[in-house]
Amino acid sequence: MSNIAEININGNTYSLPIIEGSEKETAIDISKLRGQSGAITIDPGFKNTGSTKSAITFLDGERGILRYRGYPIEQLANKSSFLEVAYLLITGELPSAEELTEFQKKVSRHTLVHEDFKKILDGFPSTSHPMGVLSSLVTALTAFYPHSTDPARSWAQVNLSIVRIIAKMPTFAAWAYKNKVGQPIMYPRNDLDYCSNFLYMMFGLPSTEYHADPVIADAIDKLLILHADHEQNCSASTVRIVGSSQASLYASLSAGINALWGPLHGGANQAVIEMLEGIRADGGNVQKWMNKAKDKNDPFRLMGFGHRVYKNFDPRAKIIKRAADDVLGALGVVDPVLDIAKGLEEVALQDDYFIERKLYPNVDFYSGIIYRALGIPTEMFTVMFALGRLPGWIAQWKEMRENKEPIGRPRQVYIGATEREYVSIDKR
Ligand code: SDX
């Protein structure tokens, strides 16, 4: 196969190299196109445009494959733990038993945050969405660790910043929840595992004994694994482009949290539950809402369906759907919204509109149902997504910095007014 692509512009032919990835994906390297031809390419939403070469996550949308550093998501979800997966994503290799124990100890030692964070938290009214609180608290880390913002930061400093944010994110997330419900915050406990500690800070109260249900802690650990990375999605690309200006890890992660918040991205898990509850309140007529989703004049979309890359089942959705049945069964929870979700899925998978557009349930379609069964309030669903995606964002930021990638600065095609003379206001 020729490894050159030829492009003809106004009768001139330009040759561009074709590169091939380790999974035989091919890409045309257009980095010299403008210099040779004066032309650029344009691709709104970057649907056909690669931004980087990455060794972190591989996904095949047609075959429904997802692997972190080569390991299939199904194996990691069933056999690994979230902190082990975080170590894998960030370092590139699975840890030895000693390395994992050392990593867990380091994380445990950094879960506490400076008391002055309570003053920041107190500034947020209970109406604040936890995602806005979370991104603000993460940005505020730059104030408490000013060396973390130094562009000439050493890798030792970066690695310490990485441990700090992995350790403190559950504390911030739980405190954002406590701020919403008006309860006193709970301090982290280093004798608990990562997810049990999170649940303790979320649902514990100073006046009562709280012990996290292992079924719930295990389910959350699995959900965090399933959300840990997803190559160049909207929020990961945001983290990379913000970091490409040599902004700090914390500033870049805060930007990623805000990108994830959108209902077309990580905010979809909250939107799915709100949609299902709306359908239920409307009488549960699944076909009526399917018709609305297909009606071009109706802004309603079937949240939790469709994906930019997966044109087959999102492998995470399959695992989460099974886990939903297991967790609700184990907890003895009956949720009529789960039946509506299954009814919607059944109708959609047989509907030409969805089949033609290859719209399948994505990671967000069932995750909200599990979170709800676990007692996580709806407005915290996207915070759970951010908690899971954190190691992926870190790995993407670190890879971009290690590879010394240039500052991200796309071009454009100008379609505005051509040159014109200024007219004084008395003559307009
Ligand atoms: C995540 O990128 C990632 O990896 C993201 C993520 C991750 O792990 O980081 O996987 C997490 O964000 C999952 C997606 C969560 N979002 C939703 O569930 C929101 C509902 N889904 C859609 O808005 C949509 O499917 C997107 C945003 C996910 C993808 O949009 P695209 O790739 O830009 O596709 P599109 O909007 O151009 O849709 C193509 C066609 C259109 O119809 P036509 O114009 O061709 O007639 O499919 C239709 C769309 O109208 N369509 C839908 C639909 N999704 C797409 N129609 C009804 N309901 C939907 N959900």
* Domain annotation covers residue 12: yes
Q: Ligand 1 pocket, 357 CB below 6 A?
A: yes
Cα 197 to Cα 29, 155, 291, 381, 409: the distances in Å are 47, 28, 44, 18, 41
* Domain annotation covers residue 61: yes
* Domain annotation covers residue 119: yes
Which residue has the CA at smallest separation from atom 48 of ligand 1? 357
Q: Do residue 158 and residue 295 come from a single domain?
A: yes
Counting from 1 in the atom list of ligand 1, the atom nearest the Cα of 293 is: 57
Return the closest-CA partner of residue 86 out of 95, 78, 98. Answer: 95
Q: Is pLDDT above 60 for 354?
A: yes
Within a 13 Å sphere around the CA of 402, how many CA atoms are in the beta-carbon half? 16
Q: Residue 339, exposed/middle/buried by CB under 10 A (0-12, 13-18, 19+)?
A: middle
Whether the Cβ atoms of residue 335 and residue 368 lie closer than 8 Å to each other: no
* Domain annotation covers residue 211: yes
Return the closest-CA partner of residue 222 out of 147, 109, 138, 327. Answer: 327
Mean pLDDT across 268-277: 94
Q: Which residues pair with residue 18 across a beta bridge?
A: 28
Is residue 60 among the annotated active site residues?
no
Amino acid 84: pLDDT: 98
Q: For the domain that residue 18 is a member of, what is the CATH number? A: 2.20.28
State in Å: Cα 344 to ligand 1 middle.
16
First to last CA, the chain: 62
Cα 376 to Cα 52, 260, 269, 282: the distances in Å are 36, 18, 12, 24
What phi and psi, each to the nearest 5 degrees, are found at residue 32? Answer: -105, 5
Calpha distance 367→258 (Å, rounded): 20
Is residue 351 among the annotated active site residues?
no
Which residue has the CA at smallest separation from atom 24 of ligand 1? 306
pLDDT digits (tens, 9 = 90+) for 186-202: 999 999 999 999 999 99
Q: Do residue 58 and residue 44 come from a single domain?
A: no
Q: Is pLDDT above 60 for 135?
A: yes
* Domain annotation covers residue 413: no
Q: Ligand 1 pocket, 59 CB below 6 A?
A: no
State in Å: Cα 337 to ligand 1 middle.
22
Amino acid 313: pLDDT: 87
What phi and psi, each to the nearest 5 degrees, are found at residue 191? Answer: -90, -5
Q: Ligand 1 pocket, 308 CB below 6 A?
A: yes
* Domain annotation covers residue 60: yes
pLDDT digits (tens, 9 = 90+) for 377-392: 999 999 999 999 999 9
Mean pLDDT across 245-250: 97
Amino acid 382: pLDDT: 96
DSSP state of 261: T
Q: Ligand 1 pocket, 401 CB below 6 A?
A: no
Which residue has the CA at smallest separation from atom 18 of ligand 1? 304
Q: Which residues form the domain of 91?
A: 51-405
The H or E element spanning position 79 is helix 73-79
Q: Do residue 43 and residue 60 come from a single domain?
A: no
- 280 pLDDT tier (thresholds 50, 70, 90): very high
Amino acid 338: pLDDT: 87
pLDDT digits (tens, 9 = 90+) for 200-244: 999 999 989 999 999 999 999 999 999 999 999 999 999 999 999
Residue with more model confidence, 153 or 287: 287
Q: Do residue 327 and residue 184 come from a single domain?
A: yes
Calpha distance 356→311 (Å, rounded): 10
Confidence (pTM): 0.95
State in Å: Cα 310 to ligand 1 middle.
10
Between 82-91, 253-262, 323-332, the lowest mean confidence (pLDDT) is in 323-332
- 408 pLDDT tier (thresholds 50, 70, 90): very high
Amino acid 2: pLDDT: 67
Calpha distance 253→220 (Å, rounded): 21
Probe ligand 1: pick from 48, 49, 362, max atoms within 8 Å of CB? 362
* Domain annotation covers residue 175: yes
Q: Output the six-digit token pair for 113.
A: 């945050």
Q: Is pLDDT above 90 for 367?
A: yes
State in Å: Cα 265 to ligand 1 middle.
9
- 1 pLDDT tier (thresholds 50, 70, 90): low
Q: Do residue 58 and residue 29 come from a single domain?
A: no
- 318 pLDDT tier (thresholds 50, 70, 90): very high
- For residue 270, give the 3-state DSSP assignment: helix
Return the closest-CA partner of residue 225 out of 422, 428, 391, 3. Answer: 391
Whether the Cβ atoms of residue 239 and residue 252 lie closer than 8 Å to each other: yes
